[in-house]
Structure formats: C-alpha cells, structure tokens
Structure 1
Amino acid sequence: MSDKITTHWKGGLTFESDNPSGKSVIMDTNIEGQNERFGLSPKAMMLSSLAGCSALDVISTLDKMKVDIDDFKIDVSGELTDEHPRYYHSVIVDYHFYGSDLNKEKCERAVNLSVDKYCGVMEMFRRFATVETAIHFHVN
C-alpha cells in the first residue's frame, strides 16, 4: 500500500498539501518580522499525526471493549535537536481520560495496544526519537 500527496507552493513560504482523503492542509513557518500565519508547521504536524494515529487506535479499541468515557485528549510535546537538520530527538505523549466511572484497566490496555502494536506513526517516531508515554485519569 502506498500513499501519494502533492504539495503546491502558494507564494512566500506558504504551501498547500493534499491528502488521499481528498482534504488539504496549509503549511507555513514562522517568518521573522511577520506576525501572520496561514497554516501549520510541518514539524508540529508530525506531533499531531502521532496524536491522531494513537487517538484513532485508542477510541476504536475502547468502542470494541464497550468502554464509555466522557472525554479524551492527547498532549504531545517534542524536543528538537540543536543542530541542523533539526528533528525531534525526544517526545512525550500524555493520554488524558475524563469520566465519572472510568475503567482504568481497559483504558490502559487500549493505550498499550496502540503504543506497542497498532500505531504506525508511533513506530516511525521510535526510529529517530525516544518516546515516553503517560496515562492520566480525570474523574468528574
């Protein structure tokens, strides 16, 4: 299976990239002396991809387990190298579950399945970065 995308220059340092889903995203970067941004940072989108990949796994696994939660979010932070080419050398992924009667064991199982087995983006990150994960439960 392969994916193909096309990224098209929109002027300045702004680009539009399509996706096999038919959707597109605007990318740009911080430009000194310019306050306005039009899109997302490509490196930060990598962190979003990691969170999105794992979140899809976790929620679909919880659905199969018939586990109810009120809310769920993932915070991802990444530390870039100092030297060019700058890349994320360490990443922290924090899973946050919210609810009044959380099944902690099943939530942890869903996260572990994503981290250890299903999330391809997580595996890609492990090829170049140290990845730490933590699970947080917030009882309403």
Structure 2
Amino acid sequence: MTHKVTTVWKEKMIFESDNPGGYSFNLGQTEENNDPYKPLRPKAVMLSSLAACSGLDIVSLAEKMRITFNDLKIKVEGELTEEHPKTYHTVSVDYHFYGKDLDESKINKAIALSVDKYCGVMEMFRQFAQVKTKTHFHNH
C-alpha cells in the first residue's frame, strides 16, 4: 500500500496538505495568535500521529476484548536534540484511562499489543528515539 499526499505553499510560513482520506489541514508556523490558518507544527503533528495510531489500536482491541472505559487521553512529549537537524531523541507516551472498575490487566494487554506489534508509527519512532510508555488508571 502506498500513501500519497500533496502539500502546497499558501503564504508566508503556511502550507496546506491533504491526506489519503481527502481532508486537508494546515502546517507551518506563525507568530500570530489568531492566525486564520491555525497551522499545526510539523514535528508536533508527528507526536499527534503517534498518539492517534496507538489509540486507534487500543480502541479497536478494547472492542474485541470487551474492555470498557469512559475516556482515553494519550499525552505524548518529545525531547528534541540541541543541534540541527533537531530530531526527537526521547519520546514519552502516557496513556490515561478513565472509568469505573477499569480492567487494568486487559487494558495493559491491549497497550502492549499496540506498542509491541500493531502501531507502525510507534515502530517508526523507535528507529530514531527512545520511546517510553506509562499507563495511568483513573477509576471513578
């Protein structure tokens, strides 16, 4: 399978990119707080992609494994090198599960499957960064 995207320069430091699903979004950087383009920073989008990839695995596995939770938040933090080209050298992925009577054992199994087997973005990150994961359970 091949993914293709087209990215077009809009103006200043703003680019618009499509994706295979057909939706477009803006990338770049701006000094303006109310920039109408609301560009996403390219490196930060990589962290969001990592969270979404693993999250998609976990939600899919949860359905198959009959795991229930009310909410899932994935917080990803990347530490950049000091020298150019600045790349992530360490990435922390924190999974936060919210719900009543969370089945920690099953949830941990779903996370392990995502981290070790299914998440292609996680595997790509491992090629250039140390990836640390941690799980937090918020029972209420």
TM-score for both structures, normalised by structure 1: 0.95
Q: Does 1:45 align with 2:45?
A: yes
Corresponding pairs, count: 138
Q: Does 1:56 align with 2:49?
A: no
Give the gaps of 5 or more residues in structure 1.
none
Tell me what 1:111 maps to: 111
CA deviation profile, 1:98-140 (whole Å, cap 9, x unmatched): 1111000000000000000000000000000000000000011
Give the gaps of 5 or more residues in structure 2.
none
Tell me what 2:10 maps to: 10
Instruction: Let me know the Cα RMSD of the aligned residues.
Output: 1.0
Instruction: List 4+ stretches of structure 1 deviating above 2 A.
Output: 34-38
Q: Percent of counterpart pairs with the same letter?
A: 57
The letter of the residue matching 1:41 is R
1 CA distance for matches of 2:33 and 2:63? Answer: 42
The letter of the residue matching 1:92 is S
Tell me what 2:89 maps to: 89
Secondary structure at the counterpart of residue 40 of structure 1: coil
1 CA distance for matches of 2:11 and 2:88? Answer: 27
Cα displacement (A) at 1:35: 4.0
Cα displacement (A) at 1:30: 4.2
The letter of the residue matching 2:113 is L
The letter of the residue matching 2:65 is M
